[in-house]
């Protein structure tokens, strides 16, 4: 009896919702005639739920701006001006689609992106109307961007330091492997072999910081000694990014230590430490004129589920705050990311203007002039044989980074490093790797060990995704967020 009563009540509520589907909590946030103002922040969201998509969109707009579930005696005209407006819905099904929302800038405490996060990445994720939701993109207007400085050095600064401004060849980097466990001397020895083979840049892995077996300060001391040796022997400038990720106070101590010892670079697990600490630590590194390597470990937990935030959105924050190089995926290696999606992720930090050429979930965007280009890092499962494929996705302005692909080379670390540099040289000379391998034995050994990825296969996948909007729409219609995952991540 009790169950039946509840059933009737639910139906009644559902009917009321249908009648009033143009409103949430008594107010309507749907305004399809609205054309966003110059200073609005725009968000693009995929959502599917138990209500009509219009109703879901209203709920999202309300909860992420001024609204709640019911009418308020306290809501006045001034407050109403601060509301979010749903100005477009690309409906895929009755209960699913792409929602475009505009937020007036006055809604936010601009420099405080944590306040912004609590609004637009906050309660909306818990709304019970939803089955799935991903925030796919965001745009920041010029006035918002002008509150941030962007990278101090950026890609050109890194190229200048390493001496590749003219040649424009891809940089080659390595992560010392095994990722944890080596002691400081062993670690530095692996780095030495890497540099001597031609690697420009060595980095700690994301989970190596200051463990007992490899103390941060000892590791830095050993690394500074060998960098000095390498630079004297080769006449080249090389880089190393020690991972300083920790509580803010410890990160500040580590920056002091590096700076006091004359070192110029540090690495941060940017997603792990969160926006607030990240801004503080970046400001401090910039004050010391240091280079910043940004590792994105952990972002997948927020991006890849039924509810999430696309990594491209994080990239926009990281570029605004001012990292100099950032992991964005390879399109061909061990981590998710279809070539066309990785190209988009690369373009966010590389281009000044992003327009039209991508499939779903992407908004046009323009960076303020003073916000420099971040050097894109392609990493994860790479080896020399994949590098033509990496170049097909990224072009030549890329840091091609390999851990296993260097230290797992049949000839050892130095040969692995050589194979990566040879691949970079071949790419900048426009020579296909198999041809270059005929006269370069380390590259030849890498291709023999791991094979060669023909870049034309990568290029054809990128074209496929741009051209088939209709069929991709049908895929998303059938499978919801799974379709978006197939398009963006390839699974
Ligand atoms: C690469 C790596 C990086 C990944 C992260 C690793 O090592 O050090 O952390 O690149 O992925 O531990 O997997 P390998 P992404 O070269 O041995 O794979 O760059 O996509 O964030
Ligand atoms: Mg790693």
By three-state DSSP, how is residue 462 classified?
helix
Q: Looking at the domain assignment, is residue 477 inside a domain?
A: no
Q: Looking at the domain assignment, is residue 64 inside a domain?
A: yes
Output the pLDDT for position 52.
96
Tens of pLDDT along 249-278?
999 999 999 999 999 999 999 999 999 999
By three-state DSSP, how is residue 400 classified?
strand
User: Given a cut of 50, is residue 120 above it in pLDDT?
Assistant: yes
Which tokens sit at 288? Answer: 């010391």
Q: Looking at the domain assignment, is residue 49 inside a domain?
A: yes
User: Given a cut of 50, is residue 404 above it in pLDDT?
Assistant: yes
Q: Are 266 and 379 contained in the same domain? A: yes
* Domain count along the chain: 2
Cα(53)–Cα(44) distance, integer angstroms: 14
Q: Looking at the domain assignment, is residue 277 inside a domain?
A: yes
Active site residue 394: no
Tens of pLDDT along 204-222?
999 999 999 999 999 999 9
Query: Where does the pLDDT of residue 465 fall: very low under 50, low under 70, confident under 90, or very high at 90 and above?
Result: low
Q: Which atom of ligand 1 is nearest to the CA of 206?
A: 9
Domain edge (last residue) among 117, 145, 173: 145
Tell me, using a 6 A CB cutoff, whether residue 327 lines ligand 1: yes
Q: Are 363 and 290 contained in the same domain? A: yes
Q: Which are the contacts of 264, defined by CB distance < 8 A and separation ≥ 6? A: 161, 239, 289, 290, 291
Distances in Å between the Cα of 188 and the Cα atoms of 94, 261, 358 are: 59, 17, 42
**CATH code (residue 27):** 3.30.70.150
DSSP letter (8 states) at residue 354: E
Tens of pLDDT along 7-54?
333 333 333 334 344 688 889 999 999 999 999 999 999 999 999 999
Q: Looking at the domain assignment, is residue 485 inside a domain?
A: no
Active site residue 177: yes
User: Given a cut of 90, is residue 470 above it in pLDDT?
Assistant: no
User: Are 439 and 432 within 8 A, CB to CB?
Assistant: no
CA of 48 to the centre of ligand 1 (A): 33
Q: Are 220 and 115 contained in the same domain? A: no
Q: Are strands 96-103 and 85-93 parallel, antiparallel or unpaired?
A: antiparallel
Q: Which are the contacts of 53, defined by CB distance < 8 A and separation ≥ 6? A: 47, 89, 91, 93, 94, 95, 96, 97, 99
Question: 35: buried, middle or exposed (CB in 10 Å: 19+, 13-18, 0-12)?
Answer: exposed
Output the pLDDT for position 474.
81
Q: Are 215 and 338 contained in the same domain? A: yes
CA of 181 to the centre of ligand 2 (A): 13
Q: Are 291 and 259 contained in the same domain? A: yes
Q: Looking at the domain assignment, is residue 427 inside a domain?
A: yes
Q: Looking at the domain assignment, is residue 185 inside a domain?
A: yes
**CATH code (residue 288):** 3.20.20.110
The candidate with the shortest Cα–Cα distance to 195, out of 238, 225, 232, is 238
Output the pLDDT for position 481.
87
Model-wide pTM > 0.95: no
Q: Annotated catalytic residue: which of 153, 295, 372, 409?
A: 295
What is the H or E stretch that residue 241 is in?
strand 239-241
What residue numbers bound the domain in which 38 lies?
2-145
């Amino acid at each position: 009896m009790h169950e039946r009563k509840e059933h009737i009540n639910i139906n009644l509520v559902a009917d009321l919702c249908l009648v009033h589907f143009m409103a949430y909590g008594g107010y309507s946030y749907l305004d399809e005639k609205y054309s966003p103002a110059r200073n609005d922040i725009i968000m693009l969201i995929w959502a599917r739920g138990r209500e009509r998509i219009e109703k879901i969109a209203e709920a999202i707009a309300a909860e992420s701006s001024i609204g709640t579930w019911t009418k308020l005696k306290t809501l006045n005209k001034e407050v109403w001006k601060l509301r979010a407006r749903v100005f477009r819905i690309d409906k895929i099904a009755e209960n699913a689609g792409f929602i475009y929302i505009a937020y007036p800038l006055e809604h936010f405490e601009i420099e405080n992106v944590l306040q912004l996060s609590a609004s637009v990445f906050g309660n909306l994720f818990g709304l019970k109307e939803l089955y799935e939701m991903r925030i796919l993109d965001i745009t920041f207007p010029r006035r918002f961007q002008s509150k941030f400085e962007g990278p101090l050095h950026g890609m050109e600064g890194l190229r200048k330091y390493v001496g590749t401004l003219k040649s424009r060849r891809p940089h080659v980097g390595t992560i010392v492997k095994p990722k944890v466990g080596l002691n400081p001397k062993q670690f530095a020895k692996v780095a030495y072999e890497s540099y001597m083979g031609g690697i420009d840049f060595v980095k700690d892995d994301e989970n190596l910081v200051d463990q007992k077996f490899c103390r941060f300060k000892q590791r830095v001391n050993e690394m500074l000694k060998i960098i000095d040796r390498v630079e004297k022997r080769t006449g080249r400038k090389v880089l190393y990014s020690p991972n300083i990720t920790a509580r803010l106070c410890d990160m500040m101590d580590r920056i002091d230590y590096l700076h006091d010892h004359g070192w110029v670079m540090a690495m941060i697990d940017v997603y792990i430490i969160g926006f607030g600490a990240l801004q503080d630590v970046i400001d401090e590194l910039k004050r010391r004129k240091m280079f910043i390597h940004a590792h994105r470990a952990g972002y997948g937990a927020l991006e890849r589920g039924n509810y999430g935030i696309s990594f491209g959105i994080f990239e926009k924050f990281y570029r605004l705050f001012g990292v100099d190089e950032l992991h964005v995926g390879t399109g061909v290696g061990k981590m998710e990311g279809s070539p066309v999606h990785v190209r988009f992720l690369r373009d966010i930090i590389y281009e000044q203007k992003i327009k039209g050429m991508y499939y779903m979930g992407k908004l046009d965007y323009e960076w303020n002039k003073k916000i420099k280009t971040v050097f894109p890092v392609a990493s994860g499962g790479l080896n020399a044989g994949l590098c033509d494929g990496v170049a097909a996705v990224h072009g030549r302005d890329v840091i091609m980074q390999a851990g296993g692909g260097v230290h797992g080379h049949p000839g050892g670390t130095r040969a692995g490093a050589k194979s990566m540099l040879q691949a970079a040289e071949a790419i900048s000379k426009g020579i296909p790797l198999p041809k270059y391998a005929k006269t370069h034995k380390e590259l030849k050994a890498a291709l023999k060990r791991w094979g060669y990825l023909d870049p034309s296969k990568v290029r054809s996948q990128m074209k496929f995704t741009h051209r088939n909007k209709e069929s991709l729409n049908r895929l998303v219609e059938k499978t919801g967020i799974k379709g978006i995952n197939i398009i963006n991540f390839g699974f």
